[in-house]
Structure formats: C-alpha cells, structure tokens
Chains A and B, each alone.
Chain A
Amino acid sequence: MSDFFTLALVTATLRLTTPLLFTALGGVISERAGIINIALEGLMLTGAFFAVAGTWWTGSPWLGLLIGVLSAGVAASIHAYWSITLRANQIVAGTAVNLIAAGLTAFMIQRIWNQTGASESVTRLPSLATGINILLPVAFLLVPIVSFFLFRTKHGLHLQSSGEHPQAAESVGIDVTRNRYIAVIASGMLAGFGGAFLSIGDLSYFTLDMTAGRGFIALAAVIFGGWTPFGAMLASLLFGAAQAVQIQAQATADFPISTDLLLAFPYVLTLIAVTGLVRSSNPPAGLGQHPTSH
C-alpha cells in the first residue's frame, strides 16, 4: 500500500478531473443564468466527436479543437432555443439533445470512416509532460477566470441576476434572454473543451458514447460544488480522484475495497449533498423559470 499513493496517481487524478472540470464550469455558468443543463452529456460528446472529425478534415488538432468547441456551441444553441425562446421544459430539451448527440455521432462515425464504434486515429494536441496534456492546465486556469467573471464583473452579475430573479432583472433593463443564450452557448463550448480533451487530448480517436456519463457527473459536480467555480473544481477533483483510485486499485492485487464501491462513493456524497443534510444547498432562485409568467 505504501507505494499506492504515487505521483502517477496524482497525475491520473488531474487527467480524469480535467474533462469534468471544463464541463462543470460550463454547467455553473448555465445554471447561474437560470437554465438547467442536463444536455451537458450530449454537448461533451458533440465536442469530442467534432474535435476528431475536425482534426481528420484539416490535419491540425488545433483546428480540430476549434471545430469541436464551436460544434458543441451550436448544439447548445438548440438547447437554448427550446429552453429560452420556446420555453419548453428544460429537462425535456436537454434529454432530446443528449439523444440526438448520441445518435448523430454514432451515425457519422459510419459515414465518415465507414467504421462502427470508433473513428480512425488522428494527431492529438501536444502534451507538456507525460500524462499532462496542454488542455489540463487550461481547465484549472479557467476556474479563477470564470469565478472573477461571475462575481466581479458587470456582465457576470447581470448573468447571475438573470438566473436569480429573471423578472426583477428584466425590470431594471437587463436582457435576460440574451444573457441566457450567451450562458448556455458558453456552457456548450466549455463542455466541448471537455469532450475534445477526451478525444484529442487524452486519446487520439473518438469511440461510441466515449463520454460515458461524464456530462451527468459534471452536473453533479456543479451542484455538489454549490454552483461556484471553485466548488465545482473541488467536486470534480473528488470525482476524478475516485476514478483514479479505482483504476489503480484494479491493477493492485488484494486491494481491500471493491472498486465498484469506490466508484459509488462520489454519487452517494452528491446525493447527501443535494439533500442539504450536511450543508445548505442553494440553487439559483430562478433556475428553470422564465422572466414573464405564462
């Protein structure tokens, strides 16, 4: 056990945290603006897919990253249109986006590469050191930036008031619709970064359903982290660490705890967290609400 907690475990934790962190930061922005975003899973998947497709088409992983991030932004605008303009149930809209993303990426693997299940290999984004892709520090640097934006800038505070009390925000001249669109599309682009990290940062190809629920876990990190960027980071680290320990435990003979129970641990914590039994859990007051009643 003494050599269980090694540098490799630390890098693995950071590596597994990164996609969750990008996406959770997106989730914080969207939910702070009042839009529930369970589409994060599908947005991540969209980003992961088009990052590979973009790299395949252009030959450059940087352009691939751009295409992946923009595609996830476009997919998010569908969620935004249904949730904000059509005022559809935001969970219904998010579910639809998730289904479409899962289906369309699988469909397009076959159309582009004439394969099922996985894409061809492409060039990946450069790494700074073994296991440290260039996007990894970017995710962590975004934490103070998003935090500063949300809590210290005029735009960030307007965005928050759009989520906290949309009617009051409208009455003082804040364009709630515009703020919400920007927030949802930004959340999609951040989820796109998370997805691209998986496909062209960590690996060099896309596989069917490669996000495997990470978008939902990121949403849990948003809530567990109390809807703040730093909270979401700590929660993402917890989820990432659980995965890293699980992976290493599988390779360790006679590890005393079932890896399934290790992986279950963060979900139990999140369940406890959202019940507010441990500490108060305060979502934005206007989450899921529209500026004018209908």
Chain B
Amino acid sequence: MSSASPSKRSGIALKILGPILAVLAALLVGAVIMLFSGQDPIAAYRALLNGAFNGRRAIAETLIYTAPLMLGGLAFAVAYRASLFNIGIEGQLVIGGLAAGLVGASDLGLPTALHLPLAVIAAAIAGGVWGAIPGALRAFTGAHEVITTIMLNYLAYRLINFTIQSLGDWLPVDSQFQATERVLPSAELPIVLEGTRLHAGIIVAVVCAIALWYLLFRTSFGFKVRTVGLSRGAANYSGISWRTIFVLAMAISGLLAGLAGAGEALGLQGRHYAIPPGYGFTAIAVGLVGRNHPIAIIPAALLFGVLNAGALAMQDEAGVSSEIVLVLQGLVILAVAAFAAANRIPGLRRLATPRMST
C-alpha cells in the first residue's frame, strides 16, 4: 500500500478487499469460460462448494488440501519478503517428502515419540538444504534464483526417481510402486478427525503460519529479512549481511516446503511417491493472495483448498472438468497482479483504492 493511505485501518481494509475482489473477478471470468463452452457455471460452483463443505468427509478433504498449500504459501512468502522468488517449492517439497518417506519407512526400532519427529526433521533439513542451494548461488554468484530453482526442481525429480529405481539395495524403496516403502506406524502422522483421512499436517501448517508471523514481524531476524527485501542498499548501510539473509530466507522457505512434503508422505499417502503432486505452483497463488503475510496465508490456503477439494465434485456432479480449477488459480494470480498494478499507476490508483474513511 502506498503512503497515501488515509489511515492504518483503511489500509488494512484495502489489503483484505483487494485479494477478495481479485478472487471474485477470477470466478467471474471462470464462469464466462464455462458459459462460453456451454456449461452451467452456477451448477458448477454450487457442486464445488458442496464438494468442499458438505459433511465431515468433505471438510476433511478440504483441509487435507489446505495443509500443503498453506506450507507452500508460507514458503513462497518468506522468500518473497527477502525479495527472492522461490519457484522451486515443488522440488523442495518432494525432496522433503523423500527424506520423510525414507526415514519413516526405515525400521529403526524407535517409538513414535522419536521416529515421527525424526522423519519430520529429516524432511525439514532436506527441504531446507534444497532451498538454501539457490539462496547461496544467488548470494555468492549472482545466479538468478528463478532459473536455479527450476533446474533444481528437475534435478529433484531425477534424484528421487534415481533413488527409487536404483538404490533399492540400500534404501527402503519400492521400484514397482514408484515410491518409498510403506511408512511404519511409528512414523505416521496421527489422524485428527476420526473416520476421515485428515492428518495432523493441518495443525503443523497453522502452527508454522503463526511461527513465521512471529519470526518476520517480532524478531530482529525478521526485521533484517524485510529490510533486505525492501532495499539491499539500506540493509548494507545498516550493517545487515544481505548474503546471509538470502541463504537463510531460502533455507526457511525450503524447510517449510519440506514439511509440506512430510505431511504428504507421513500423513496422507503413507509413502513418498515419485510423481510430484504439483502444489508448488499453486503455492505461489496462495502466497500472492495472502499478500505474503503469514496470517493472511491461512485463509488464502483455505480458499485454494476449497477449490482443489471441490474440483472433483464439480466434475462428477456438474460435468465440468476439474482442471478448470487450474484456470481459476491462474486467473486469481492475474487479477491480484492487476490490482497491485492499478495501485501503482497514478491515474488508476483512485479506482483501486477508494477512500474508506479519512
């Protein structure tokens, strides 16, 4: 928001209003696409909401999708706050999932109280390292993180395939299943809603959101991250090492993505599969709609959880291909970007930021 905001309260109102308008605009364009191809958008959206909210099972499925998207959105946000663009969330997520799956499937003779945390920590470290690599490459060689994270995504897929196909003699992997072996009961994330598949990943995600908010806005480290993000020059001038911040912000970003992978492997799937789930790019939309604010990312992730969970019901009940949800996600990103742009262009600013109060 610009400094022209009349008061802090209206500033916050606008920050909330902008993304909501963007989502509505995206849903409207989505409806036009459906109409144009001879389908009933109202029936489609009704089925989508039904699929996401109607009953315990539906709500559980929505939250199952919400958890990795929330962690992914947080991962995107922490890097973005340091002015870095992490589009390697998918790679960090699957590397984390592989680590969790391997540790979880290893018979270490440990009780749950040790085995589960160990598997989660393994995922956090693996994701964190996979994130820190592009951070360090950017900090010390200047290689742009967008390119290096894309390369590291593909390297991650190859590494995982290689591990599963070729390292069966040493590691608990199952090349027939294209996955790690089944995670042992001692490393499984507990179910938090009986009779559903909803695992503790959603709690981990919300805790991470609050923790990241505290880290970014209540600690000196968070202040340094945001300073580097706003101006590397100012950071330098005040003695903050932007290079260190780049590496650490990307490590935290990768760590959060790795936790998302752990949730999939230890909670939902019970093993880590070689096929990437594709949450990494949706996470970008989550971060942007949540304006890269950890607390705002909670409802933003829920929104995309609803879209993803409702998509199948929309396909079954209204006959609208579930992939339209990808289109909606892309449209949301475009709309958020357009609203942000309207803020920057003086002639349009009045339209995008109506005065709420003075």
Residues of A within 8 A of B (CB): 36, 38, 78, 82, 86-89, 91-93, 95-104, 106-111, 116, 213, 216-217, 219-220, 223, 258, 260-261, 263-264, 267-268, 270-271, 274-277, 281, 283, 294
Partner of B324, one of A103, A116, A271: A103
Bound complex: CA of A281 vs CA of B148, how far in Å?
Answer: 13
Main SS of chain A's interface residues? helix
Give A104 to B331 CA distance when docked, in angstroms. 11
Q: Which of B4-12, B53-61, B180-188, B332-340 is the interface stretch?
A: B332-340
In the complex, the answer to whether B327 meets A100 with C-beta atoms within 8 Å is yes
Complex contact A95–B37 (CB within 8 A): no
Complex formed: what's the CA distance from A270 to B281 in Å? 22
Q: List the B residue with the shortest CB-CB distance to A86.
A: B341
Known: A107-B324, A294-B344. A93 touches B337 (CB 8 A): yes
Bound-state CA distance A102–B37 (Å) is 17
Instruction: Work out how many contacts link A and B, with CB atoms closer than 8 A.
Output: 152
Residues of A within 8 A of B344 (CB): 87, 294
CA of A275 to CA of B151 in the docked complex: distance in angstroms? 12
Asked whether A275 lies within 8 Å of B143 as measured between CB atoms, the reply is yes
- What 1/0 flags go to B312-354 for Cβ under 8 Å of A? 0000000011011111111101100110111011000000000
Instruction: Provide the bound-state CA to CA distance between A263 and B151, in Å.
Output: 12
- Bound-state CA distance A213–B153 (Å) is 10
- In the A-B complex, the 8 residue pairs with the smallest Cβ-Cβ separation, listed nearest first, are A103-B326, A99-B330, A106-B323, A100-B330, A103-B327, A260-B162, A88-B337, A86-B341
Separation in Å of the A215 CB from the closest CB of chain B?
10
- Of the candidates B39, B142, B331, B341, the one having the most CB atoms from chain A within 10 angstroms of its own CB is B341
Contact partner of B288 (CB less than 8 A), chosen from A86, A92, A106, A263, is A92
A96-B330 in contact given A111-B37, A216-B150, A274-B148 (Cβ < 8 Å): yes
Residue among A95, A101, A275 facing the most chain B CB atoms (10 A cut-off): A95
Min CB–CB distance A193 → chain B (angstroms) = 22
Find B162's partner among A36, A102, A116, A258 (CB 8 Å cutoff): A258
Q: Is the CB of B281 within 8 A of A220?
A: no
Q: Is B144 an interface residue (CB 8 A)?
A: yes
Cα distance A38–B145 in the bound complex, in angstroms: 13
